[in-house]
């Protein structure tokens, strides 16, 4: 039975905040492929590519345990199996688990062959048919958890599952840019997902913008003063709100069409870098330390930092070449932030979005991503506990091609026809 989460009371400032601890992050290099799959929520195992063999492997290997071939291919495979044994750890040598005992684990015999050790959702019991999910734990490494075949009521409240997700339920969110046309859809989706408060940063509040009254009408939204291009504005808000941001969603972006030679100067390029790159850095310098210190702080612990990036951070779209460059810089910085946040367990989530349905992408043909789609996918990713999310058909297309060959993708994007 899932024990329903209780909305946490107001924090007592005199009580010591629990220091973050982590499960073991040590993995072989082969096992990192499972982490890469977990980042997108995929269940992948190695399958031997020798046609007469096809043996499924687990744990990750460097050679086939059936025929010794080194042709082991990571494939999406069935995650169904039977839970054949369970245990509840009451005493652990690792501090993270020691603080969270009793902790359940089990052995699942997968229908595709191997048996795996895994975490257990509280709704599964020995003998059950279960489905495994592959997710990142607080150490940023892949772990498996057995879920019931049918979604249980309040399934997301399960303690062991919630340790793997970044569910907005009962958490407080900061969205950094109220002027971005996606702000309303994001705030609405987060509140519908059970967020207890949504703060939305607003730069130059004297300057009107169309969605302001809609934002104000949402119960649970608070507009706060924030300009990501202004260091003191960022620091001021962090001083006031830094200790109650559980999820930060950086949706601030500056986008204009154009590459290098079509622009006469670097004016727009500097604006793009100011918002898209330096903006993220200012926010991280001001907010990340406080979030890192609160990552084990109970039901509303700090849990995720979300960057809404362009899919063109992975490869230049020359029509938006300068913007692509600033996105690539932001993407690279997000990887640095991910490394710096690793010791806290706060997840840095990158949302790679295709061209959005807004003024900035007006000259582009469809398909474009409506704000509501972005919001829905982003919230789903937090609930599912993903690290990399590709939103929209163009982003998914770029992802597929990028994974296949970054160079071929570059050739395609920068050919004579591309412009």
Partner 1 sequence: MIKPRKRMGYDGVVVAAPASTPYERYSTETAHWWIAKALRQSIQAAGLTPHDIDGFSVASFSLFPDTAVGLTQHLGLVPRWLDHIPQGGASGPSALRRAARAVQCGDASVVACVAGDTNHVDSFRRMLSSFSRFAQDASYPYGAGGPNACFALLTDYYMREFGVGREDFGRICVSQRDNALRNENAVMKKPLSMDAYLAGREISDPITLFDCVMPVAGAEAFLVMREEDAVAAGIPHAHISATIERHNAFAEDPIQMRGGWEMDIDELYGMAGHGPERVDLLQTYDDYPVIVMMQLEDLGFCAKGEAARFIADKDLTVSGDFPHNTSGGQLSAGQAGAAGGFIGLVEAIRQVTGTAGATQVENAKRALVSGFGVINYDRGVCTSAALLEGVN
Which parts of this chain interact with partner 1 (CB under 8 A)? 23-24, 26-28, 30-31, 58-60, 65, 84-94, 96-97, 103, 105-107, 109, 115-119, 126, 137, 139, 141, 143
How near is the Cβ of 25 to partner 1 at its closest, in Å?
9
Contact 380, 398 (CB under 8 A): no
The H or E element containing residue 348 is strand 347-353
How near is the Cβ of 67 to partner 1 at its closest, in Å?
14
C-beta of 92 vs 372, nearer to partner 1: 92
Contact 351, 377 (CB under 8 A): yes
C-beta of 26 vs 407, nearer to partner 1: 26
- For helices 279-293 and 231-241, the axis angle rounded to 10 degrees is 20
How near is the Cβ of 133 to partner 1 at its closest, in Å?
14
Place of tokens 């339920």: 169
How near is the Cβ of 88 to partner 1 at its closest, in Å?
4
Read off the tokens for 116. Answer: 């795996």
Q: 3-class SS at 56?
A: strand
C-beta of 131 vs 326, nearer to partner 1: 131
**Counting Cβ atoms within 10 Å, is residue 153 exposed (0-12), middle (13-18) or buried (19+)?**
exposed
How near is the Cβ of 361 to partner 1 at its closest, in Å?
42
C-beta of 42 vs 82, nearer to partner 1: 82
- Please enumerate in sequence order all residues whose Cβ is within 8 A of that of 211, keeping only pairs 6 or more positions apart, or say none: 178, 179, 181, 183, 184
Contact 181, 310 (CB under 8 A): no
How near is the Cβ of 357 to partner 1 at its closest, in Å?
42
C-beta of 19 vs 85, nearer to partner 1: 85
Provide the 8-state DSSP code for 307. Answer: E
C-beta of 115 vs 205, nearer to partner 1: 115
How near is the Cβ of 367 to partner 1 at its closest, in Å?
40
Tally of CA atoms within 13 A in the half-sphere of 234 that contains its CB: 23
User: What whole-number distance in Å separates Cα of residue 220 and Cα of residue 173?
Assistant: 10
Contact 269, 327 (CB under 8 A): no
User: What whole-number distance in Å separates Cα of residue 259 and Cα of residue 261?
Assistant: 6
C-beta of 23 vs 392, nearer to partner 1: 23
How near is the Cβ of 89 to partner 1 at its closest, in Å?
4
The phi and psi torsions of 387 (rounded to 5 degrees) equal: -115, -35
């Amino acid at each position: 039975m899932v024990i329903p989460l209780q909305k946490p009371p107001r924090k007592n400032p005199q009580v010591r905040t629990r220091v973050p601890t982590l499960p073991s992050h040590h993995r072989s290099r082969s096992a990192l492929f499972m982490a890469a799959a977990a980042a997108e929520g995929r269940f992948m195992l190695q399958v031997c590519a020798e046609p007469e063999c096809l043996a499924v492997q687990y744990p990750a290997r460097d050679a086939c345990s059936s025929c010794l071939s080194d042709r082991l291919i990571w494939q999406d495979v069935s995650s169904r199996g039977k839970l054949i044994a369970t245990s509840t750890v009451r005493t652990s040598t690792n501090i993270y688990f020691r603080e969270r005992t009793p902790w359940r684990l089990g052995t699942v015999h997968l229908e595709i062959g191997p048996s795996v050790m895994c975490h257990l959702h509280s709704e599964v019991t020995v003998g059950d048919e279960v489905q495994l999910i592959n997710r990142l734990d607080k150490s940023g490494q892949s772990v498996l958890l057995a879920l019931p075949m049918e979604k249980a009521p309040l399934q997301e409240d399960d303690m062991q599952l919630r340790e793997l997700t970044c569910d907005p339920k009962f958490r407080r969110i900061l969205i950094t840019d109220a002027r971005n046309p996606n702000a309303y859809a994001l705030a609405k989706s987060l509140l519908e997902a059970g967020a207890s408060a949504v703060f939305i940063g607003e730069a130059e509040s004297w300057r009107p913008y169309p969605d302001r009254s809609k934002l104000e009408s949402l119960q649970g939204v608070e507009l706060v003063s924030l300009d990501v291009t202004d260091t003191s504005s960022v620091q001021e808000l962090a001083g006031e709100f830094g200790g109650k941001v559980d999820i930060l969603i950086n949706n601030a972006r500056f986008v204009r069409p154009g590459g290098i030679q079509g622009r006469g100067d670097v004016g727009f390029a500097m604006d793009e870098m100011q918002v898209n790159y330096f903006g993220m850095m200012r926010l991280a310098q001001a907010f990340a330390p406080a979030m890192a210190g609160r990552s084990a702080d109970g039901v509303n612990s700090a849990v995720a930092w979300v960057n809404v990036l362009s899919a063109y951070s992975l490869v230049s779209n020359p029509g938006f070449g300068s913007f692509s460059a600033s996105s690539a810089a932001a993407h690279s910085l997000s990887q640095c932030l991910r490394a710096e946040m690793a010791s806290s367990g706060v997840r840095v989530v990158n949302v790679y979005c295709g061209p959005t349905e807004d003024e900035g992408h007006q000259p582009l043909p469809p398909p474009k991503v409506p704000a509501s789609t972005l919001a829905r996918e982003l919230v789903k990713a937090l609930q599912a506990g993903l690290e990399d999310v590709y939103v929209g058909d163009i982003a998914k297309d770029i992802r597929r091609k990028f994974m296949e060959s970054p160079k071929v993708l570059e050739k395609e994007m920068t050919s004579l026809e591309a412009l």
